[in-house]
Structure 1
Amino acid sequence: MIKDESPTLSSIQQFKGLSRERVDEILQGISTLKVGVIGDGCLDVYWHADMTQSELSRETPHYNLPVTRERFAPGAAGNAAVNYKALGCLEVSFCSMAGNDWRGQQLQEAFRLRGINDAYVQVEPGRVTPAYCKVILQGLQGAEQEAPRIDFINEQGCSEAATQRLVQQLDLMAAQVDVISVTDQLEHGVIGPSVRDRLAYWAGQGKRIVVDSRDRIGHFKGMVLKPNELEALRWYNGSLKHLQATESELLRAGQQLSKLAEAPCCITWGDKGAVWFEDGQMTFVPTKPVAPPIDIVGAGDSFTAAFLSAWGVGCTGPEAVAFAHLAAAVTVGKCGETGTASPQEIRDRWQRLAE
Structure 2
Amino acid sequence: MTGSDIKAIFGRFPSSRVGVIGDFAVDLYFDLKTKTGESSIETGLDVFWGSRPRASLGAAGNVVQNLAALGIANIHVIGCIGDDLFGREMQHLFSTLGVDTTYLQVVSAWDTCLYTKPTVNDQETNRIDFGTGNCLTDEQFESILAGLELLLPNLDVLIINQQFANPLLPVGRMQLLNNLIFRFPNVRFLADMRDTGTQVYGSTLKVNTAELARFLAVPHPSHPDLDWCIQQGTTFQKRLNGPLLITRGPAGILFLDETGYHTVNGLMLTGPLDTVGAGDTVVATWAACLGAGTPPQEALLLANLAAAVTVQKLNQTGTANLSELLEQYKTHYVHD
TM-score, normalised with respect to structure 2? 0.91
Distance 2:200 2:193 in 1: 9
Deviation at 1:23, TM superposition (A): 1.2
* SS of residue in 1 equivalent to 2:38: coil
Q: 1:133 maps to what in 2?
A: 116
Return 5+ residue gaps in structure 1 as ranges: 1-17, 138-142
CA RMSD of aligned residues (A): 2.1
CA distance in 2, matches of 1:82, 1:196: 28
The CA deviation at 1:153 is: 2.9
Q: What CA distance in whole angstroms lies between the structure 2 residues aligned with 1:126 and 1:351?
A: 50
CA distance in 2, matches of 1:121, 1:319: 33
Q: Which amino acid aligns with 1:232?
A: L
* Residues 145/287 of structure 1: CA separation in 2 closer, same or farther (3 Å cut): closer
Aligned residue type for 2:125: A
Equivalent of 1:206 in 186, 189, 195: 186
Out of 147, 152, 159, the residue aligned to residue 130 of structure 2 is 152
Q: How much has 1:54 moved relative to structure 2?
A: 4.9
CA 54–207 in structure 1, closer or farther in 2 if over 3 Å, else same: farther
Letter matched to residue 168 of structure 1: A
Contact 1:263 1:278 in 2 (8 A): yes
Tell me if 1:187 matches 2:165: yes
2:325 is matched with which residue: 332, 346, 349?
Answer: 346
Paired residue secondary structure (2:261)? strand
What does 1:36-185 align with in structure 2 at a 5 Å threshold?
36-51=19-34, 53-137=36-120, 143-155=121-133, 157-185=135-163
**CA deviation digits over 1:157-182, x for unaligned, max 9?**
42110110110121233222221112
Cα distance in 2, alignment partners of residues 232 and 247 from structure 1: 13
Q: For 1:143-198, what per-residue CA distance to the aligned partner results, in whole angstroms no more than 9, with x for missing partners?
A: 44433000113435421101101101212332222211121111211123435533
Cα 1:246–1:341 change in 2 (3 A) is closer
- CA pair 49-262 structure 1, distance change in 2 beyond 3 A: same
Taking only the aligned residue pairs, the percentage that are identical comes to 28
Deviation, structure 1 residue 135? 2.4
Q: Quick check: 71-80 or 272-281, which moved more?
A: 272-281
The reply on whether 1:216 has 2:196 as its aligned counterpart is: yes
Q: What is the number of equivalent residue pairs in this alignment? A: 331
Report if aligned partners of 1:200, 1:223 keep a CA contact under 8 Å in 2.
no
**1-side partners of 2:265 and 2:51: how far apart?**
44
**Aligned residue number for residue 264 of structure 2:** 285
SS of 1:167's partner is: helix
1:88-112 Cα distance to aligned partner (Å, 9 max, x none): 1121111111122222122111211
C-alpha separation in 2, matches of 1:279 and 1:37: 26
3-state SS of the aligned residue for 2:66? helix
The unaligned stretches of length 5 or more in structure 2 are none
Aligned with residue 234 of structure 1, among 196, 201, 214 = 214
Q: Distance in 2 between matches of 1:145 and 1:267?
A: 29
- Aligned residue number for residue 267 of structure 1: 246
Q: Give the stretch that moved more between structures: 252-261 or 61-70.
A: 61-70
Give 1:221 shift.
0.4
Residues 285-310 of structure 1, C-alpha deviations (whole Å, 9 max, x = no match)? 22322222211111111111111111
Q: Partner of 1:128: helix, strand, or coil?
A: coil
| Contact 2:110 2:131 survives alignment (8 Å) | no
CA distance in 1, matches of 2:105, 2:47: 37
AA at the equivalent of 2:314 = C
Instruction: Find the aligned partners of 1:302 and 1:274 in 2 and give their Cα distance.
Output: 12
SS in 2 for 1:31: helix
Cα 1:333–1:68, aligned 2, differ >3 Å: closer, same or farther? closer
**Most deviating of 29-38 and 128-137:** 128-137
Name the CA distance, whole Å, in 2 between partners of 1:130 and 1:176.
Answer: 28
Equivalences for residues 250-261 of structure 1 within 5 A = 250-261=229-240
For 2:176 and 2:238, the matched residues in 1 are separated by 18
The residue aligned with 1:13 is none
Structure 1's consecutive aligned runs of 4 or more residues displaced over 6 angstroms after TM superposition are none
